[in-house]
Structure 1
Amino acid sequence: MSDTGTLKFAAAVSAGSLLALAFFASAVRPAAAQDFDCRRAQTTSERTICRSDRLAGLDERMSSLYSELKAASGNRYERNDLRDYQRRFLDARDSCGRDTECIRGAYLDQISVLESRLERAYRRTER
C-alpha cells in the first residue's frame, strides 16, 4: 500500500471509529433526570433533545423543577393543575419537531414558569 493509500485508510478507520463512538455515546446517554429515556425517544423533538447536550440540560433542569414543585404542591388540585400545565408544555415542545431554537424557547418559558410557581409555593409554606 502506498503512503497515500495508508493515510486514506487510516483516515477512514479513524472517521469510522469516531462515528461508531459518537453513535455509542448517544445510544447509552443516561436519561438522568430527563422526562424520557433517550433509548425510547418517541417524538421528533425527543430525538432532537437526545442529540443536544444543551437541550438535554434544559430538559434535566425542567424535570427537576417539575419534580420539586410536584412535591411542594399542597393538594391534589394543585398537582392536577401542574400535571395539566406540564402536558400543555409537552404538546408545545413536541410541535417544534427538529427546530432546536423552538424547543429551547419552550423549555426556557416552562423553566421560568416553574421557578415562579415554586417560589410562590415556598413562600406559602414559610407563613
Structure 2
Amino acid sequence: MSDTFTLRFAAAISATALAALAVLAAQAGRANAQEFDCRRAGMASERTICRSDVLGALDEKMSGLYAELKQSYGRRSERDQLKRYQRQFLAARNDCGRDTECIKGAYLDQIGVLQAQIERNNRLSER
C-alpha cells in the first residue's frame, strides 16, 4: 500500500468515527436532558417520548422552562404552587398513554403556560 492510500484510509476512518461519536454524544445529551431516564421509563407515555425526537425535544424545552421558572421564584409558596401545577401536567401527560398527539398537545400547552409566566415575571421585574 502507498502512503497516500494509507493516509486517505485513516482519514476516512477518523471521519466516520467522529461522526459516530457525535451521534452518540447527541443521544447521551438528550437522554440526560430528559425529565426522566429513558432506560428506566416505566409509563407508556415516557416510553413513547423516548422513542420520539419531537416529543423528546418538547420534553427538554418544557423541562428547561420549568427549571428557569422555579429558580426565578423567591418564595417557597410560589415554588410549591409551581410544583403542584407541574404534577397536574405530568398526570395529564401520563393519561395520554401512547397517544403521541395527546402527549404533544399536553407539552405544547404546558410550554405555553410556562413561557407566559416567565414573560409575566420578566415584565414585573422591569418595573
Q: TM-score, normalised by structure 1?
A: 0.75
Give the 3-state SS of the residue equivalent to 2:117 in structure 1: helix
| Deviation readout 1:26-80 (Å, 9 max, x if unpaired) | xx75423211010111100000000000000000000000000001113111100
CA distance in 2, matches of 1:123, 1:34: 29
**Equivalent residue number for residue 60 of structure 1:** 60
**Equivalent residue number for residue 47 of structure 1:** 47
CA distance in 1, matches of 2:119, 2:73: 12
How many residues of Structure 1 are paired with residues of Structure 2 in the alignment? 101
Residue identity over aligned pairs, in percent, reads 62
Query: How much does 1:122 deviate?
Result: 1.4
Superposed CA RMSD in Å reads 1.4
Larger helix fraction of residues: 2
Gaps of 5+ in 2: 1-23
1:84 paired with 2:84, answer yes
**Equivalent residue number for residue 71 of structure 1:** 71
**Equivalent residue number for residue 32 of structure 2:** 32
- Matched AA of 1:60: E
Gaps of 5+ in 1: 1-24
CA distance in 1, matches of 2:91, 2:70: 19
CA distance in 2, matches of 1:50, 1:71: 26
Q: TM-score, normalised by structure 2?
A: 0.75
- Matched AA of 1:107: Y
Structure 1 residue ranges, 4+ long, deviating more than 2 angstroms after superposition:
none
- Matched AA of 1:64: G
Would the aligned equivalents of 1:72 and 1:122 in 2 still touch at CA under 8 Å? no
CA distance in 1, matches of 2:124, 2:31: 32
CA distance in 2, matches of 1:75, 1:126: 18
CA distance in 1, matches of 2:59, 2:72: 20
